Structure 1
Amino acid sequence: MSTLLELKDVRASYDGALVLDGVSLKVDAGETVGLVGRNGAGKTTTLLSIFGVPQVTGEILVEGKPLGRRGHEPAARGVSLVPQEKRIFPNLTVTENILLGGASGRKGRWTVETLFELFPNLARGKDRPGDRLSGGEQQMLAIARGLMADPKVLLLDEPTEGLAPVIIDELIEALKVIQESGTALVLVEQHVRMVQMLASRFVALGKGRVVAEGATEDLQTRAVQELIAL
């Protein structure tokens, strides 16, 4: 497989406070990688570094070419982020929130209609404002909005946080469909079962460094679990 997204020796800081200390990782086209580790290990900052939110040094490449990490460039190059806090616009309808995801101008298989097929709950409430949705529906909406940019790689930050098991199961099934479409996923997730069901391999962070990586089966070993406290 060809490398789609690559971080090389990335260091990231906020107001001079170092959070990532030389993180390197690769995501191949079409694969799913679980990014795991203790709270505060630097998982969210790793995703945000791709968008230049912290102060970043090192290289970030998309399909082998450096990413400028400014404005809409990541989305235009095929990288979409579903943030932990979802960032749903409360006064816009479900449909309007989804359409905002098309701002990069990329066109592909994901349209409002195909996304409503993927998430029937959103279709039933397409005219409802964002603040009238449940937590699970808001997560579905955030993912749908991210897909409207037709990403080559979709970054998901703690998508199951605070959700009921039945909703988590629905999300897993939707993410399997997204995988089948050929979209690569980077999954930041404390829900180990979800990582094991979806990802082929994992990268573990500890104190801003990569401390372990391997096949997701290795997440079951005591050594890895102790290392990353899962």
Structure 2
Amino acid sequence: MTATPVLEFRGVNAGYAGSVILQDLSFAILPGETVGLVGRNGAGKSTTLMSVYGVPTVTGEILVDGEPVGRRAHVPTARGVSLVPQGKRIFGNLTVEENILLGRASGRPTTWSTDDLYQLFPNLARGRKRPGTSLSGGEQQMLAIARALMAGPSLLMLDEPTEGLAPVIIDAIVEALKEIRSRGTALLLVEQHIGMIQKVADRYLALRKGRLAGEGPVSQLGDRAVQELIAL
């Protein structure tokens, strides 16, 4: 018996102010799997993530755990989808720990405690009483991931989590994502850093001009034909 996808797009079209970004997009993410969403800038990767919350104008069906989410932004979070957006969106008037605890606003049960998250990201433990925005860029990214995990997601979506970060921080985030997936959380990862996707993901979905241009195991991302297809 096939498992119910944690996230499924069925013929989704999405855009802003009359401009179409996604066109007839269909795919599914299964429980516990890690998928890399790749493509050149402007292909529609971030729009795909935001479509789950109905931010662009969306037609077609988006389902979480087999149920349509409609156009209510709170529904995906309540059903177990967490997003780590570009820009991190850390609250400077709150401490590191207070930023993490905001994740509990979803009301979902979670297997993650603050101690678990400090073990996952030791830098956060050392700065737990500091303002969130006093952290380095890499530490703020860790904080954004920790806050998203505190919401108890079955699916964690990340939008360019390594953008602008030093290699040593990227390595730390890669190891953290491996630990997260080992605890059964599915991951949907938008990332230009193809080497990272190859280290973390099971398979890839490739977007080109808002359409699904290809998909397969991450081992194929090294193939020249695939790289040319998605213009990486």
Shorter chain as denominator, the TM-score bin is over 0.9
* SS in structure 2 of the partner of residue 163 of structure 1: coil
* SS in structure 1 of the partner of residue 100 of structure 2: helix
The alpha-carbon deviation at position 85 of structure 1 amounts to 1.0
In structure 1, runs of 5+ residues without a counterpart are none
Counterpart in 2 of 1:225?
227
Counterpart in 2 of 1:156?
158
Counterpart in 2 of 1:113?
115
Counterpart in 1 of 2:90?
88
CA, structure 1 residues 187+228, in 2 after alignment: closer, same or farther (shift >3 Å)? same
* SS in structure 2 of the partner of residue 203 of structure 1: strand
* Structure 1 segments of 4+ aligned residues over 2 angstroms from their partners: none
The alpha-carbon deviation at position 71 of structure 1 amounts to 3.7
Counterpart in 2 of 1:128?
130
The alpha-carbon deviation at position 9 of structure 1 amounts to 0.7
Where do 1:17-32 residues align within 5 Å? 17-32=19-34
Normalising by structure 2, we get a TM-score of 0.97
Conservation of the 8 A alpha-carbon contact between 2:54 and 2:73: no
* One-letter amino acid of the structure 1 residue matched with residue 35 of structure 2: V
Identity among equivalent positions (%) equals 65
Which stretch shifts more, 1-10 or 73-82? 1-10
Which stretch shifts more, 2-11 or 36-45? 2-11
Normalising by structure 1, we get a TM-score of 0.98
d(CA) in 1 for partners of 2:229, 2:12: 22
Where do 1:139-178 residues align within 5 Å? 139-178=141-180
Conservation of the 8 A alpha-carbon contact between 2:124 and 2:139: yes
* One-letter amino acid of the structure 2 residue matched with residue 162 of structure 1: G
d(CA) in 2 for partners of 1:85, 1:19: 21
Aligned length: 230
d(CA) in 2 for partners of 1:86, 1:213: 28
The alpha-carbon deviation at position 68 of structure 1 amounts to 2.5
The alpha-carbon deviation at position 112 of structure 1 amounts to 1.4
How far does the alpha carbon of each residue in 1:29-74 deviate from its partner, in whole angstroms, 9 at most, with x for none?
0000000000000000000000011010000111111112414211
> What root-mean-square deviation, in Å, do the aligned CA atoms of Structure 1 and Structure 2 show?
0.9
d(CA) in 2 for partners of 1:64, 1:70: 16
d(CA) in 1 for partners of 2:55, 2:26: 18
